[in-house]
A = this chain, B = another copy of it.
Amino acid sequence: MGSTTGQIFRVTTWGESHGGGVGVVVDGCPARLPLSLKEIQADLDRRRPGQSRITTQRDETDEAHILSGVFEGKTLGTPISIFVWNKDTKPEDYRDIKNAFRPSHADYTYQAKYGIRNWMGGGRASARETVGRVAAGAIARKLLKVRAKIEIIAYVKRVQTIEASVNPSKVKRADVERNIVRCPDKATAEKMIRLIEKIRKGGDSAGGIVELVARNVPVGLGEPVFDKLEADLAKALMSLPASKGFEIGSGLAGTYMLGSEHNDPFVKRQGRIRTRSNRSGGVQGGISNGEDIILRVAFKPTATIMKPQQTVDAKGRKVTLAARGRHDPCVLPRAVPMVEAMVALVLADHLLRQTTQKG
């Protein structure tokens, strides 16, 4: 269980890193949405391995196939099935770990939970699974754009200690995509790239922060109590591999403020009710208030490192591991499209849910 998300815009991913392929079924996407393979492929290309010298060298073209749900360039209202073959699999790279548990990976927990695992790579816990999410996210993004001109942009905010200066309300996707680390602050981006390269040469890995802004979100998305917008966003983002923390608006920093400093006063601007500041991060009482949604996700340093590590095998015997598989020294550049995809899925779902509740 657990491979489906969404109440209305329902997304089911499937696939292991070293099985036949990976894919997704999207059910509940409204009919007559213009949709092309090209739009989906564009996002998959931003996610795919081997795209730059600071990502894993596994060489997958990740070519998407749409098998159903689209007819003459438009959605049918029926499930959209998309799949991608696994091609550049190297199970032999993983033979060493067939019986060993890589530290801070899911090898041990999957083995303990299921009593079986596909040891040829990360299996279902591999970041390869996010192919399906990103493909579904591209559809969600299209829906959000067509219905409400919602724009979702994520970028690398910090790599380890190197933090970028970015204005969320102004940042453009073109600026994010201009460099391989996906940080729109050009000077900082170069430092980040150098840091990642240095860390990789040391056989190690780094973590950091991805920040995201969603603009033009209409007022009213999110449901009271358990399905608050920030709750669903938190779940979506904490479901990404390697994420360890989530913040919205003022986040942790807000806990140091007084209520009188933190509250966002309401004002009327251009005929609309707005807030003067945006420490709420675009959500109040679990419901979007029309301001930019701003959130951050913390990613730990990649668990796979080239340095030798002590661990144990299934029988508890000590073993020393050194990764031979191809891996990302820092997941953040490739996490950017994943973060966007997950936020798009949540917003698309709530946009459709909202249509059912209008009085």
Cα A80 to Cα B1 in complex, Å, equals 11
**Known contacts A113-B77, A259-B301: does B310 contact A265 (CB below 8 Å)?**
yes
Chain B residues contacting A28 (CB-CB under 8 Å) are: 1, 356-357
Chain B residues contacting A256 (CB-CB under 8 Å) are: 160-161, 207
Cα A246 to Cα B288 in complex, Å, equals 19
**Known contacts A125-B286, A284-B106: does B259 contact A79 (CB below 8 Å)?**
no
Bits for A52-89, please: 1 = Cβ < 8 Å to B, else 0: 00000000000001111101001111111101000000
Contact B220 A286 (CB under 8 A): no
Contact B357 A30 (CB under 8 A): yes
- Would you call A94 an interface residue if the criterion is a C-beta within 8 Å of the partner chain's C-beta atoms? no
Bits for A223-249, please: 1 = Cβ < 8 Å to B, else 0: 111111011111111110101111111
Contact A238 B234 (CB under 8 A): yes
**Known contacts A79-B12, A101-B266, A244-B248: does B309 contact A4 (CB below 8 Å)?**
no
Give which listed residue, B10, B14, B255, contacts A299 with CB less than 8 A: B255
Cα A319 to Cα B322 in complex, Å, equals 65
Which of A32, A207, A356 is the most central at the interface, judged by chain B CB atoms within 10 Å of its CB?
Answer: A356
Chain B residues contacting A1 (CB-CB under 8 Å) are: 7-8, 10, 27-28, 223, 227, 353, 356-357
Give which listed residue, B7, B251, B267, contacts A7 with CB less than 8 A: B7
Contact B3 A224 (CB under 8 A): yes
Say how far A63's CB is from chain B's closest CB, in angstroms. 14
* Interface segment, one of A170-178, A183-191, A198-206: A198-206
Cα A257 to Cα B244 in complex, Å, equals 13
**Known contacts A103-B263, A239-B225: does B246 contact A245 (CB below 8 Å)?**
yes
Contact B23 A254 (CB under 8 A): no
Nearest opposing residue in chain B for A15, CB measure: B68
Chain B residues contacting A265 (CB-CB under 8 Å) are: 103, 309-311
Say how far A4's CB is from chain B's closest CB, in angstroms. 6
Say how far A341's CB is from chain B's closest CB, in angstroms. 12
Give which listed residue, B115, B118, B236, B354, contacts A32 with CB less than 8 A: B115
Contact A239 B228 (CB under 8 A): yes
Give which listed residue, B21, B25, B116, B281, contacts A25 with CB less than 8 A: B25
25 A–B pairs (Cβ distance < 8 Å), ordered by A: A1-B356, A2-B224, A2-B228, A3-B78, A4-B226, A8-B356, A14-B25, A14-B81, A15-B79, A16-B68, A16-B78, A32-B115, A104-B263, A106-B286, A109-B222, A125-B224, A129-B225, A204-B259, A205-B260, A225-B239, A238-B246, A259-B301, A263-B309, A267-B310, A355-B358
Q: Other CB < 8 Å A-B pairs besides A14-B67, A14-B68, A246-B246, 9 of them?
A: A1-B27, A4-B10, A4-B226, A16-B71, A109-B286, A110-B285, A115-B359, A235-B235, A244-B249
